[in-house]
Chains A and B, each alone.
Chain A
């Protein structure tokens, strides 16, 4: 049975009419054509599809549409504000913390959610928080550095 589901997506209220048990990943990618969120493993083992629901990271390939009803969803497309890149985005660029770039949206959103809770993470904190996100290109060390740089920028209030 289809249902009308209302939620906020990247700051805008939207309505989606669909089966409530469909996974959020496909609604974002196929129905809404927001393709920044990626499919990679489809079973919650890699983190590529990570988005935020009320600032909590969720694996959108495992998260049903009905779960976002009345909530705030943030995808990679919503991170840039008024044409300005988020400090995490600039730090990833600065450190060349990506290669193929396929896992990058999930990495950035996972890091974003961690920094909300822990603005001054140690390397160990970062590894623990990011451990479920896989990067086959092996950019892990650079991603850790990028997150540290972004955390410093955000604490400094320059953004």
Chain B
């Protein structure tokens, strides 16, 4: 071990200036943090990227991840507190600040705990080891006779001989290099991680003190409202802003394709926007909800093989019973509580941006480009985010605010209205799934041919025992994976992208085969599974449910679905009542058993499962974006209905113990089984199957006819 004189890089100096005074201890385990590392794709080696110990002994945890309700504000703090042996209330979270936090691609895909957790744990372990070294020098006790506990280093044999982290940190400005990296703790030694822990952000949120982007008010800020086309693909023909100009203190900015009105109060700006008279050329799109599925099939690119095994023709030859069905789902909105919002303040050559985003570093790059600023002159700060679900991976509100701030010379806020939120949403894509399959005389699935049009391939790999299968993907859920130009508006990741549609199709189809096999849904799944982890979650869910399944349709209204979402296994059981007169479904009870590997915060995992089940009811029953000729016909929650208090079933969760497996994601998995489990429960209740999501009362009545 050696001490270095403090050798700041420019980046370091900026870092310390930003985090304020009282930086008293500083360790480096590798090369000093460089700009390249921070801007690169991977997580940095240097644990200073993850934490700081202040003169008061408090630990700050830095992460480029953001908190949008999913609870990593708490669970990541638990992981760090565990390795560093401090109590949880001594950890401060600094999230999504591009100047302070290590580079991160964004918060999505249930990846925070799974991928960011391990480097964070290593950083904590390393910092603990350095503190022990410092304590050893201070106390004159060999390192091996020292232990870290509750923010202090103690002598094993004499607990009066101790040094707190605050004392060790005080007055120090040194860099330490560890020759050997310490191991992280075994889960059996955990005291903080693994404990059910209340949210650490809740006091701020119940008092109204929690800041979201729209709550940020730099001095002299203007609210901007932007003229929008009535339909996707409609182009501006003519505009008359004369009436709007008459509003006192209004500023109107016209820049290329953008026409904006700015005022210090958002409602006044909105009123002025309403006075602008604009004419648009209509959209060229002729699609609507009735024609979309045929359009998707007609527009599909050649499929790529997601996975295959054996030979489909051989499998077909083995089949005693064959099945062929198509499954459909409509466009679904993210509908976050907080619409997309951004605030930007440009001071000299530096821009500070506050944004409701899941990808602060992406926002930083976009703003830098729009302003022609170097990236390091753009700081993105992410306040609390009011829901994301993938919808805030991107959003033009940030660059719109940047352009307007530069043009107006004032700080600017752009906050989308609910109508804009529905219009510019990157919807979960409408999709079609065709499945052909067969059972042999022993009721084993012998072939499985899966054609996926635009859902996205996640969770489409079969986990049942099937000797001959082929899964083809014709167009993904958007972005690079396909779908571009085919949909009449933006599509993208939606909580559990791809999987919601795939699990609906797969698990509906499995139930169809179970009925033909004259087996109940649980029995048939067990019969066709060898994956012990999947069998275990199924058994756990069935045990909790406590009532027995019968061959469907039993009239009982019980449904079952299971899936593997990126390594998290789960089985969900639902009990429903269907009103055959009006087609309405009441979900009475949902049980979900989930194996998510090692659990960091059991309370947090349960909250996510409950959230998934509740939100998932929306796409089961009502959520369908209606559109026509490029127009989005649903503009608010009056016609686009999302789950309410009265919908909520009794929810029971089982966390299947599996601490040997590293922690997996939990923000998305349980929503992905909702379409399948509810479709199966509805079938069990009424003996008719609905092949299209959402299962609206109209579609259920049609099925009954």
Known A92-B202, A136-B642: A99·B611 in contact at CB below 8 Å: yes
Asked whether, in the complex, the Cβ of A93 is within 8 Å of the Cβ of B198, the reply is yes
Known A100-B337, A100-B386: A127·B646 in contact at CB below 8 Å: yes
Q: Which residue of A lies closest to B671 (CB)?
A: A138
List B151-210 residues whose CB lies under 8 Å from chain A: 198-199, 201-210
Partner of A131, one of B71, B637, B646: B646
Asked whether, in the complex, the Cβ of A37 is within 8 Å of the Cβ of B208, the reply is yes
Tell yes or no: B76 within 8 A of A by CB: no
Tell yes or no: A142 within 8 A of B by CB: yes
Asked whether, in the complex, the Cβ of A76 is within 8 Å of the Cβ of B337, the reply is no
Contact indicator per residue, chain B 648-677, by CB within 8 Å of chain A (1) or not (0): 101100000000000000000000000000
List B286-344 residues whose CB lies under 8 Å from chain A: 335-339
Contact indicator per residue, chain B 586-603, by CB within 8 Å of chain A (1) or not (0): 000000000000000001
Asked whether, in the complex, the Cβ of B205 is within 8 Å of the Cβ of A104, the reply is yes
Q: Which residue of A lies closest to B211 (CB)?
A: A35
A35 to B206 alpha-carbon distance, docked (Å): 13
Binds A, one of B116-124, B259-267, B440-448: B259-267
Known A30-B223, A35-B214, A39-B214: A100·B267 in contact at CB below 8 Å: no
Tell yes or no: A108 within 8 A of B by CB: yes
Q: 22 A-B residue contacts at CB 8 Å?
A: A22-B265, A26-B265, A29-B214, A30-B266, A35-B212, A40-B339, A46-B337, A89-B203, A92-B202, A96-B603, A99-B199, A99-B607, A99-B611, A100-B337, A100-B338, A100-B386, A103-B337, A104-B205, A136-B335, A137-B611, A140-B647, A144-B645
Whole-angstrom distance from the CB of B223 to the nearest CB of chain A? 7
How many interface residues does B have (CB within 8 Å)? 59
Q: Which residue of A lies closest to B613 (CB)?
A: A138
Known A26-B265, A96-B202: A35·B215 in contact at CB below 8 Å: yes
Number of A-B contacts (CB under 8 A): 176
Asked whether, in the complex, the Cβ of A138 is within 8 Å of the Cβ of B615, the reply is yes
* B residues whose Cβ falls under 8 Å from a Cβ of A: 68-71, 198-199, 201-212, 214-215, 217, 223, 264-268, 335-339, 384-387, 415, 417-418, 603, 607, 610-615, 636-638, 642-648, 650-651
Whole-angstrom distance from the CB of A151 to the nearest CB of chain B? 16
Tell yes or no: A79 within 8 A of B by CB: yes
Asked whether, in the complex, the Cβ of B203 is within 8 Å of the Cβ of A140, the reply is no
The 8 closest A-B pairs by CB, nearest first: A36-B208, A138-B614, A101-B205, A100-B69, A102-B386, A99-B69, A76-B208, A35-B215
List A77-98 residues whose CB lies under 8 Å from chain B: 77, 79-80, 85, 88-89, 92-94, 96, 98
Residues of A with C-beta under 8 A to B201: 101
List A31-80 residues whose CB lies under 8 Å from chain B: 31, 33-43, 45-46, 48, 75-77, 79-80
Tell yes or no: A5 within 8 A of B by CB: no
Asked whether, in the complex, the Cβ of B337 is within 8 Å of the Cβ of A137, the reply is yes
Residues of B with C-beta under 8 A to A144: 645
Known A98-B202, A127-B645: A42·B209 in contact at CB below 8 Å: no
Residues of B with C-beta under 8 A to A88: 206
Partner of B645, one of A40, A96, A108, A130: A130
Asked whether, in the complex, the Cβ of B206 is within 8 Å of the Cβ of A93, the reply is yes
Partner of B336, one of A43, A93, A136, A140: A136
A138 to B611 alpha-carbon distance, docked (Å): 5
Asked whether, in the complex, the Cβ of B648 is within 8 Å of the Cβ of A141, the reply is yes
A67 to B648 alpha-carbon distance, docked (Å): 35
A30 to B418 alpha-carbon distance, docked (Å): 18
Residues of B with C-beta under 8 A to A80: 207
A136 to B68 alpha-carbon distance, docked (Å): 11
Known A42-B417, A77-B207, A108-B206: A102·B265 in contact at CB below 8 Å: no
Residues of B with C-beta under 8 A to A29: 214-215, 266
Residues of B with C-beta under 8 A to A92: 202, 206
Whole-angstrom distance from the CB of B564 to the nearest CB of chain A? 23
Q: Which residue of B lies closest to A105 (CB)?
A: B208
Partner of B202, one of A42, A93, A136: A93
Residues of B with C-beta under 8 A to A46: 337, 637
Asked whether, in the complex, the Cβ of B211 is within 8 Å of the Cβ of A43, the reply is no
Tell yes or no: A9 within 8 A of B by CB: no
Tell yes or no: A135 within 8 A of B by CB: yes
Asked whether, in the complex, the Cβ of A75 is within 8 Å of the Cβ of B337, the reply is no
Asked whether, in the complex, the Cβ of B642 is within 8 Å of the Cβ of A134, the reply is yes
Q: Which of B198, B204, B268, B644 has the most CB of A within 10 A?
A: B644
Residues of B with C-beta under 8 A to A77: 207-208
A74 to B207 alpha-carbon distance, docked (Å): 13
Partner of A137, one of B208, B615, B644, B650: B615
Residues of A with C-beta under 8 A to B384: 100-102
A136 to B392 alpha-carbon distance, docked (Å): 14
Partner of B207, one of A42, A79, A130, A131: A79
Residues of A with C-beta under 8 A to B646: 127, 131
A80 to B203 alpha-carbon distance, docked (Å): 11
A116 to B577 alpha-carbon distance, docked (Å): 35
Whole-angstrom distance from the CB of A76 to the nearest CB of chain B? 4
Whole-angstrom distance from the CB of A27 to the nearest CB of chain B? 8
Residues of B with C-beta under 8 A to A154: none
Residues of A with C-beta under 8 A to B417: 42
Residues of A with C-beta under 8 A to B638: 43, 45
Q: Which of B264, B612, B636 has the most CB of A within 10 A?
A: B636
Residues of B with C-beta under 8 A to A26: 265-267
A144 to B644 alpha-carbon distance, docked (Å): 12
Q: A96-B603, A101-B201, A138-B610 are in contact. List 15 more A-B contacts (CB 8 A).
A: A30-B267, A31-B265, A38-B338, A38-B386, A41-B637, A92-B206, A93-B199, A99-B69, A100-B386, A100-B387, A137-B69, A137-B337, A137-B387, A138-B613, A141-B648
A33 to B210 alpha-carbon distance, docked (Å): 13
Asked whether, in the complex, the Cβ of B607 is within 8 Å of the Cβ of A96, the reply is yes
Asked whether, in the complex, the Cβ of A136 is within 8 Å of the Cβ of B267, the reply is no
A42 to B418 alpha-carbon distance, docked (Å): 7
Q: Which residue of A lies closest to B196 (CB)?
A: A96
A93 to B339 alpha-carbon distance, docked (Å): 24
A79 to B387 alpha-carbon distance, docked (Å): 25
Q: Which residue of B lies closest to A106 (CB)?
A: B337
Residues of A with C-beta under 8 A to B71: 99
Known A42-B418, A127-B645: A85·B207 in contact at CB below 8 Å: yes
Tell yes or no: A139 within 8 A of B by CB: yes
Q: Which residue of B lies closest to A22 (CB)?
A: B267
Partner of A89, one of B206, B215, B339, B644: B206
Whole-angstrom distance from the CB of A86 to the nearest CB of chain B? 9
A38 to B341 alpha-carbon distance, docked (Å): 13
Residues of A with C-beta under 8 A to B614: 138-141
Partner of A140, one of B198, B202, B338, B645: B645
Asked whether, in the complex, the Cβ of A102 is within 8 Å of the Cβ of B264, the reply is no
Partner of B198, one of A48, A94, A101, A137: A94
Q: Which residue of B lies closest to A61 (CB)?
A: B267
Q: Which residue of A lies closest to B635 (CB)?
A: A43
Q: Which residue of B lies closest to A76 (CB)?
A: B208
Q: Which residue of A lies closest to B248 (CB)?
A: A2
Asked whether, in the complex, the Cβ of A136 is within 8 Å of the Cβ of B645, the reply is no
Residues of A with C-beta under 8 A to B211: 35
Asked whether, in the complex, the Cβ of A40 is within 8 Å of the Cβ of B615, the reply is no
Whole-angstrom distance from the CB of A120 to the nearest CB of chain B? 18
Residues of A with C-beta under 8 A to B267: 22-23, 25-26, 30
Whole-angstrom distance from the CB of A39 to the nearest CB of chain B? 7
Q: Which of B265, B615, B638 has the most CB of A within 10 A?
A: B265
Q: Which residue of A lies closest to B202 (CB)?
A: A93
Residues of B with C-beta under 8 A to A48: 337
Asked whether, in the complex, the Cβ of B386 is within 8 Å of the Cβ of A101, the reply is yes
